[in-house]
Structure formats: C-alpha cells, structure tokens
A and B are shown apart, each in its own frame.
Chain A
Amino acid sequence: MNNEVKIKAKNVNFYYGNKQVLENIDLEFYQNRVSALIGPSGCGKSTFIRLFNRMNDLISNTRMEGKIYLDNIDINGKNVDVVKIRRLVGMVFQKPNPFPKTIYENVSYGLEVNGIKDKKSIEEKVIESLDRAALWREVKDRLHDSALGLSGGQQQRLCIARCLAVEPEVILFDEPCASLDPISTRSIEELILELKKYYTIVIVTHNMQQAARISDFTAFLYLGELIEFGPTEKLFTVPKEKTTEEYLTGKFG
C-alpha cells in the first residue's frame, strides 16, 4: 500500500480561553484513505478536524499552537486564503444542515459562490454531484422542492452532494450519522467507501463499529491527547496502548 501524506498536524495545541482541549497532537492523514477519529465524547475529536478547514476561526476566544499542513503548505500561513482552504477541504456536519432552499439550489450554491456562472455547467455539476452522493434517483423529480422536506438520511446525503459539487480534495465528516437511523447510516457508510476513490476522507465518530467497518486508519483520542494511531485492523485487534484496549472493550466511554 502506497500511502501519500495529504494532511499533517504537527505539535498541535488548542485552547478555548484558558482551557486546553488538544495537547501536542502529531498526526498524518493519507490520500484516498478513510481515517477515523474515535474517542469518548468531549475528547476533542470535532475540535481537531475543524482545524483542517479553519472552522474554529469562527469561534472567538480560541487559540491554536503548532502547524497544520495541507499538501505541505501551512494552512495558517500568512499568505494563505482561508476561503481557498475551505474550498479544498469540504465538511459534512453532525446534524444534517441543508439550506432553506430547494434541493437544486443547495447543490448549486457552492458552485455559484465559487464564481461559476455558466448555467449549463452548473446543472451538469449538480446532477453529477447528486448522482455521486447516491441521491439522484430519489430526488430527480423534485429538484425544485424545498430541501427541508427530505428525510434525515436524504438531507445528509444532500449535504454530501453539496460538498462534492465544489470538488474538494479532502472531506471531513463530523459524526455524520449521529442523528440518523441505522438504514440511513448504512447508506452513508457505503457512500463514504465509494468516495474514497476520489477523496481523502477523515471521519469523526463515537461509534467504534462504524470506524472498524469503513476506515483504513484509526486514531484514538482521549482527553485531548492522541493515544494511538495506526491501520484500523491493527488498532482494533492488537492495540499497543492499554487505554485503547480498555476503551475498545467498553471499560469506559
């Protein structure tokens, strides 16, 4: 297996006010692989991945130390445009959050804000993205209905389609199935496995089975520290650290 580094976190510390929530994290994520971040809730998983598209910039009174590289470029560097970073690093949120617009507009929004004006190419891209997100068949007759009328699982796939349309290189999933039923969860998981052909995927989950089912690599975070990182199979079968083993066997969490 040839693993090419796509994202690299180096000595990352993160603070909310005076409270440190991430401690000295070093981690690499590889191209065309699914990497999962697991750990009990409140361990800083979501905070950590929100650093990769600089979403934490929006929260006041926070501070980051260390470096994050995307294709070996420091994304917090002086001449880096945060908007461009976010175009390359897409994100799917915990709770499906489609815009209060039509299904079509939800997907075309990202294209329009990225300066694409040609109606024809927008339409092609919308169809392609919906198709890739395995939603096209279900919505093709109601593209101009409100997205809020879709089911939870459909809404989440729409959010994925919306994200795909801007052609990111990395997609961050922040507990994408946390508010979905098992059937919808399954379809999202299948989708993620399909998407890794084209993208680098990082997924936060508190569901260990989910990590085991879909990821190639797994990182275990506990109380803001990276306890262990490695190929998923190894981490789940022969964990190196005692804490990892205890977590996996349900001693806490």
Chain B
Amino acid sequence: MKFTIRAGVVKENIYKWVFAVSAFASLLFLVGITITLFIEGLPIFKEVGFFDLLFGKLWYPTYDPADFGIFPLIMGTVWVTVGALVVCVILGVGSALYINELAGKKQRAILKPMIEILAAIPSIVYGFFGMVIVAPFIQNLLGLPTGLCAFTGSLILGIMALPTVCSIAEDALSFVPKSFREASLALGANRWQTMVRVVIPAAGSGISTAIILGMSRAVGETMTVLMVTGGAAVIPHSFFDPVRPMTSTIAAEMGEAVMGGAHYHALFAIGLILFLITFIFNVIAETISRKYRLKLGLSG
C-alpha cells in the first residue's frame, strides 16, 4: 500500500538514538569526574581524618612524617578570590554599565569585541605577564620583598575574570525593558538616578549571576595563580604575603607525587573540594538566573 511505513524508519530511529546518547555525554563526563575525584580523593580523608585534613594548618606533603593540612591552601584561594572579586566586580560591572548605558552605538561596536579579546587571552599569558611585568612593578612600587603575592594574584585574576562578569552583566542590563528607563526619566529622575535606582535593581539577579560565575572562574583558575601568587603554603596574614591556592597546589605538585601515595590522594582531595565549591556556585547562579527569567517572563 502506498502509505505504509518505509524501511528507512529503522535507520532514522538509529540516528535519533545516537543523538540521544551523545546528548548525555556531558552528564556522563560530569558523573565520571565526580566518581574519579571521590575514588582517588577519599583515601586521604580516611588516613588523615576529615577535620585534620580540612582544617590542618600545615601542608608539608613531602616531609617524613608528612602533614596534609589543606587549610593554608583554602585560605590562599579565599584571599586571592576575594581580592579578584573586588577587581572584577568594580571593573567588570562598571564596564558593563558603561557599555550598556553610556556608550554610543559606535563605541559599543568596538568595546564589546575588545572585552571578548580580553577573554580570549590564554591564562598562561596572563600568568606570564603578571610574573615578568606586574610583580616586579608592584615590588618596586611598594617596596615589598617579593611582588609574587596574593595582591598581584588578585589583580591579574580579577582582570581575567572581568570579561565573564562584564559580558553576563551586560546581557542582563540589555534585557531591562526600555519602558523602565523611560518611565523613570519621565518622572524627572536624571540618568544616573535612573541607572542606580531602576536599571541596576531590575538587572540585579543577572548581575549577581555574573558575579558568582566570575567568582567560580577565579576559584578554578590555575596557571595564573600558579605563576604569580608566590606559592608559599602558609596561612597569609596580609595581601602582600605569598600564597598557594588550591588549584596551583595540584598543578605544581602532581608531577612529583607518587602515584597512589598519600600525597597523590591528597591532591585529588583538593580537586574534589574545588569541584564541589564551583559546583555549588554554578547551582546558585543557575537558580538565580532561572528565577530571574521567570520573573521577566522569559522562557528557556
């Protein structure tokens, strides 16, 4: 009969299944990463104890007996991230506001690609630049024993995370309906008041998403901090102390750790903690942005 189903249908279904399976690859990798980190990281929790590992103040993985206290590394990450956050929020959100609120069409057409180019520069180049140009400059300027410290790290990392913050914030700002602005201006508010009281609150959750994702980027960044933060695994007391954040510890020490040894597992445990931190950040960012979309009635 002329309408009956073709032989080709089977082939079509096979394609559909191939696509479906591929679609789950991301989930597979995510689960794979989680499992890997747990398997390789958990032994050290057993050996050292959860509390001593997380809050131990000494990180001497190659001594005998070795100390596996991650706390100095966590503090290193915290200091550098907080510093970077200050830089990238001020400059990133400021730039986004400038591009969206003040720049004309022509300026915008130049500035947006510039920000993208900043995003495209590899982290190793940032690290190298920080190490050979910025660190000596800061050392001389402030008369420090070394320019390789949390401050320099924060600065460079902040610049690196800036494009992430800027472009997401810029997106959020551009979603604010024109009518909001017009209504405010019509009431006699000037442009600055309109921006601060109407536009920024309206884009608030978008901007918070941007900041959280920028923070996530800063926490996870490796090569830059490895090269510019000085690498001392001690709890820092000021921004001008050298620090050793978690990412750079993994990168620097994995090469010398004996495969399957306690040090090796400890590095995976650090990876696990990092993974969980960024995972939480991402979930928060996603939750905020979903609520925000619902609020504005945007789908997807």
A79 is an interface residue with CB less than 8 A from chain B? yes
B237 is an interface residue with CB less than 8 A from chain A? no
Give the nearest-CB partner of A81 in chain B.
B5
The proximity string for A residues 64-101 relative to B, scoring 1 for CB distances below 8 Å and 0 otherwise, is 00000000010101011101110010000000000000
Main secondary structure of the interface of A (DSSP, over half): mixed
A73 partner residues in chain B, CB cutoff 8 A = 1, 3
A75 partner residues in chain B, CB cutoff 8 A = 3
A80 partner residues in chain B, CB cutoff 8 A = 3-5
Known: A73-B3, A81-B3, A83-B6. 20 other contacts (CB 8 A): A73-B1, A75-B3, A77-B3, A79-B1, A79-B3, A79-B4, A79-B5, A80-B3, A80-B4, A80-B5, A81-B4, A81-B5, A81-B6, A81-B9, A84-B2, A84-B3, A84-B4, A84-B6, A85-B3, A88-B2
With contacts defined as CB atoms under 8 Å apart, how many contacts are there between chain A and chain B in the complex?
Answer: 23
B6 partner residues in chain A, CB cutoff 8 A = 81, 83-84
Instruction: Report the Cα distance A165→B238, complex, angstroms.
Output: 77
Instruction: Report the Cα distance A73→B9, complex, angstroms.
Output: 20
Those of A85-142 within 8 Å (CB) of chain B: 85, 88
What are 23 A-B pairs at a CB distance below 8 A? A73-B1, A73-B3, A75-B3, A77-B3, A79-B1, A79-B3, A79-B4, A79-B5, A80-B3, A80-B4, A80-B5, A81-B3, A81-B4, A81-B5, A81-B6, A81-B9, A83-B6, A84-B2, A84-B3, A84-B4, A84-B6, A85-B3, A88-B2
B3 partner residues in chain A, CB cutoff 8 A = 73, 75, 77, 79-81, 84-85
Instruction: Report the Cα distance A79→B4, complex, angstroms.
Output: 5
A83 partner residues in chain B, CB cutoff 8 A = 6
Instruction: Report the Cα distance A85→B5, complex, angstroms.
Output: 10
Q: In the assembled complex, how far is the CB of residue A187 from the closest CB belonging to chain B, in whole angstroms?
A: 33
A81 partner residues in chain B, CB cutoff 8 A = 3-6, 9
Give the nearest-CB partner of A83 in chain B.
B6
Give the nearest-CB partner of A80 in chain B.
B3
A-B pairs, 7 with minimum CB distance: A81-B5, A80-B3, A84-B3, A79-B4, A81-B6, A73-B3, A81-B3
Instruction: Report the Cα distance A75→B4, complex, angstroms.
Output: 10
Which of B2, B3, B4, B5 lies at the interface centre, i.e. has the most chain A CB atoms within 10 A of its CB? Answer: B3
Instruction: Report the Cα distance A77→B6, complex, angstroms.
Output: 15
B5 partner residues in chain A, CB cutoff 8 A = 79-81
Q: In the assembled complex, how far is the CB of residue A76 from the closest CB belonging to chain B, in whole angstroms?
A: 11
B9 partner residues in chain A, CB cutoff 8 A = 81
Q: In the assembled complex, how far is the CB of residue B51 from the closest CB belonging to chain A, in whole angstroms?
A: 52
Q: In the assembled complex, how far is the CB of residue B216 from the closest CB belonging to chain A, in whole angstroms?
A: 34
Give the nearest-CB partner of B9 in chain A.
A81
Instruction: Report the Cα distance A81→B6, complex, angstroms.
Output: 7
Q: In the assembled complex, how far is the CB of residue B13 from the closest CB belonging to chain A, in whole angstroms?
A: 13
Give the nearest-CB partner of A78 in chain B.
B5
Q: In the assembled complex, how far is the CB of residue A165 from the closest CB belonging to chain B, in whole angstroms?
A: 19
Q: In the assembled complex, how far is the CB of residue A31 from the closest CB belonging to chain B, in whole angstroms?
A: 16
Instruction: Report the Cα distance A134→B140, complex, angstroms.
Output: 81
The proximity string for B residues 1-21 relative to A, scoring 1 for CB distances below 8 Å and 0 otherwise, is 111111001000000000000
Q: In the assembled complex, how far is the CB of residue A17 from the closest CB belonging to chain B, in whole angstroms?
A: 15
Instruction: Report the Cα distance A174→B242, complex, angstroms.
Output: 72
Q: In the assembled complex, how far is the CB of residue B15 from the closest CB belonging to chain A, in whole angstroms?
A: 14
Instruction: Report the Cα distance A80→B1, complex, angstroms.
Output: 9
Q: In the assembled complex, how far is the CB of residue B8 from the closest CB belonging to chain A, in whole angstroms?
A: 8
Q: In the assembled complex, how far is the CB of residue B118 from the closest CB belonging to chain A, in whole angstroms?
A: 34
Instruction: Report the Cα distance A81→B10, complex, angstroms.
Output: 12
Give the nearest-CB partner of A85 in chain B.
B3
Q: In the assembled complex, how far is the CB of residue B234 from the closest CB belonging to chain A, in whole angstroms?
A: 59
Q: In the assembled complex, how far is the CB of residue A54 from the closest CB belonging to chain B, in whole angstroms?
A: 11
